[in-house]
Amino acid sequence: AEHTAAAPVPRPRAGGPRVARGGFDAVLPAPVEVEPADGPGYRLTAGTVIRTGPEPAVRAVGEYLAGLLRPATGLTLPVTDADPTAATGPAAGITLSLTGTAAGPDGPRGPDQGGPAGEAPERLGAEGYRLTSGTDGVGILADTAAGLFHGVQTLRQLLPAAIDRDTPQDGPWEVPAGRIVDHPRYAYRGAMLDVARHFFPVADVLRFVDHLARYKINHLHLHLTDDQGWRIEIESWPRLTEVGGATEVGGGPGGYYTGADYRRIVAYAVARHITVVPEIDVPGHTNAALTAYGQLAPDGVAPPAYTGEDVGFSSVAVHGDVSYDFLADVLGEVAALTPGPYLHVGGDEAFTLGPAEYATFMNRLQPIVSATGKTVLGWHQLAAADVRHEPGRVIQYWGTATADESVAAAVRAGARLILSPGNRSYLDMKYSERTPLGKDWAGLIDVRAAYDWDPGGHLDGVPGSAVLGVEAPLWTETVDSMSDIEFMTFPRLPAVAELGWSPAERHDWADFAARLAAQAPRWTAAGIVFHRSADVPWT
């Protein structure tokens, strides 16, 4: 596909003025507290060591960090689990430590580690971190390995953009001096990739996972099934992939993930503290399944394969037992392959069913999900009045209105909400009339529109406390390569990531746009294609 090409970005001149924004001012998503310090920072050298405690999860973050820094710096950066409390002085290097077990390089036992009283302890929580940098080294401290991982993403952004190249570059590799305390606004920060309309090989999904990790996104929603293709191998129903996986939009060859492929994606995501959310979309969006097993169709007859872009024309049989037996098998297998807590069951655009049939189906389906031990997640059609409230369930709102009575009622009944407003967070909408890829039914969405809204107050009658988080979905009817994926994702994904992570008080378009501009040299260095939005003061 044709893209608005990313213009080459000049490499920063050594010793010369840096880009307008850099270091502590440029971190994206914006941290909770940022305090740049005067004076020199920490320079990575041939002697730099990455120190972790002995915990395997912390060591893994250390190895991951070394893997990020070695290619461009050419440094060896050994990872050692030597006691990080011993790490003071010039050889301190980069220290990753868990609270309660050790202090960072700024000294043992600060007030937040049960040291001298008088300052309230920091609440880093499940994903927060504290980063301190000075001439002696960089310390990242967190309650969890996930917090350390997010701190590592911040550290990466404090280094020059050339750190994103995959061959040795000139330094110096200096982390400016300062301190950051950071933790997320929402527990759920997601992106969705539709691998059904067009199939993407495992390597593309892994690259997408790396893109999410940069911006502290912690859920990857995989839309695994739709009318045009079934993409996950189910051992008990093998024709789903053999037959249902064999095509895609436009008639290409399609494809599917074996159980081993899916496990590989999950493991890669887990190593980046990202939870995979698998979606099996039912009762609509099921033509591919019906081509494989005609007995699932309402009339018992397998339809032909579908390679167009229409929605809403298919459904599995709602009456009788066959669809529920089928779904118990499918969801059981998918649940067994998935460590995360959610099973997404779609539920959108089942236009061939009346409201009573839809409710009949969902009222049988939801307990099947719960029986696997997973939590029900579904598009907001699941909030329909006659669909019973399954305890704990999560509704994903994709509408373009800012009020929806059925969603507000589901929230009053206890549902939690993920916000994916079609006119704000949809990565498959066109940026403008002039950009080639995408659709426009929910509007044109350039990066300012993707940024300028508040998840906490978006839907009338839904209190901020019911909002679990935000997600940016990428539907792929018009997207069929990694560069297409990147063009639609950058720069909108960082906007949604900031809405999910940064405190509402830090919401500021001009500041965000300047920080976004400072990301572009990193994308260029990493070979990431992006849309040069006219909204942003690219340098």
**From the list 204, 210, 261, 348, which residue makes contact with ligand TNX (rule: CB under 6 A)?**
348
Instruction: Compute the least distance from the CB of residue 453 to ligand TNX, in Å.
Output: 17
Quick check: is 122 catalytic?
no
Closer to ligand TNX at the Cβ: 256 or 398? 398
Nearest to 111 by CA among 84, 134, 130, 136: 130
Determine if 3 is a binding residue for ligand TNX (CB under 6 A): no
Q: Is 276 exposed, middle or buried (0-12, 13-18, 19+ CB in 10 A)?
A: buried
Supply the minimum distance, in Å, between the C-beta of residue 379 and ligand TNX: 4
Measured CA to CA, the distance from residue 487 to residue 496 in angstroms comes to 15
Q: How far is CA 522 from the centre of its chain?
A: 18
Residue 210 sits in the site that holds ligand TNX (CB under 6 A) = no
Work out whether 379 is an interface residue with ligand TNX (CB under 6 A). Answer: yes
| Nearest in space to 520 (alpha carbons), one of 190, 265, 157 | 157
Q: Quick one: 173 or 398, whose CB is closer to ligand TNX?
A: 398
The full DSSP string for 360-399 is HHHHHHHHHHHHTTPEEEEEGGGG-TTS---TT-EEEE--
Q: Which of 239, 389, 439, 448 binds ligand TNX (CB under 6 A)?
A: 439
Output 97 or 247, the one with its CB closest to ligand TNX: 247
Beta-ladder partners of 174: 43
- The count of chain residues that interact with ligand TNX, using the rule CB under 6 A, is 9
User: Considering the complex, what minimum distance in angstroms separates the CB of residue 90 from ligand TNX?
Assistant: 55
Determine the residue type at 342: Y
Residue 94 or 417 with smaller CB distance to ligand TNX: 417
Tell the burial category of 22 from Cβ atoms under 10 Å away from its Cβ (0-12, 13-18, 19+).
Answer: middle
Amino acid at 417: L
- Tell me whether residue 311 or residue 409 sits nearer to ligand TNX (CB atom): 311
Nearest to 493 by CA among 473, 522, 517, 513: 473
Asked if 480 contacts 254 with a C-beta cutoff of 8 angstroms, the reply is no
Q: Smaller CB distance to ligand TNX: residue 186 or 398?
A: 398
Residue 279 lies near ligand TNX (rule: CB under 6 A): no
How far apart, in whole angstroms, are the C-alpha atoms of residue 179 and residue 185? 19
342 binding ligand TNX? (CB under 6 A): no
CB of 186 to ligand TNX, least distance (A): 20
304 sits in which H/E element: none
- Which residue type sits at 247? T
- Is position 200 an interface residue for ligand TNX (rule: CB under 6 A)? no
If binding is defined by CB under 6 A, does position 358 make contact with ligand TNX? no
Q: Which residue from 488, 537, 529 is spatially nearest to 7, judged by alpha carbons?
A: 529
312: phi then psi, degrees, rounded to nearest 5: 90, 5
Backbone angles phi, psi at 166, to 5 degrees: -105, 15
Angstrom distance (rounded) from CA 347 to CA 6: 38
Does residue 25 interact with ligand TNX by CB under 6 A? no
| Residue 349 near ligand TNX by CB under 6 A | yes
φ, ψ at 84 (rounded to 5°): -65, -15
Q: Which two tokens stand for residue 33?
A: 């507290």
| Cβ 284 to ligand TNX shortest distance, Å | 9
The H or E element that residue 29 is part of is none
Determine if 311 is a binding residue for ligand TNX (CB under 6 A).
yes
Least distance in angstroms from the C-beta of 197 to ligand TNX: 6
Active-site hit among 349, 405, 433, 477: 349
For the bound state, the minimum distance from the C-beta of residue 420 to ligand TNX, rounded and expressed in Å, comes to 8
Pick 72 or 383: Cβ nearer ligand TNX: 383
Of residues 428, 446, 484, 535, which one binds ligand TNX by CB under 6 A?
428
Q: Which of 249/514 has CB closer to ligand TNX?
A: 249
Task: Say whether residue 81 binds ligand TNX (CB under 6 A).
Answer: no
Sign of the CA dihedral 41, 44, 48, 54?
A: positive
Residues 440-479, one symbol each (x = binds ligand TNX by CB under 6 A, - = not), give -----------------------------------x-x--
Q: Report the nearest approach of ligand TNX to the CB of residue 311 (Å).
A: 5
398 binds ligand TNX (CB under 6 A): yes
Shortest distance, position 463 Cβ to ligand TNX, whole Å? 24
| Residue that has been written with the tokens 């007030």 in this structure | 111
Our CB check for ligand TNX shows the closer of 93 and 421 to be 421
Contact 133, 177 (CB under 8 A): yes
Greatest CA separation for the chain: 75
Residues that bind ligand TNX (CB under 6 A): 311, 348-349, 379, 398, 428, 439, 475, 477
Where in the sequence numbering do the catalytic residues fall? 349
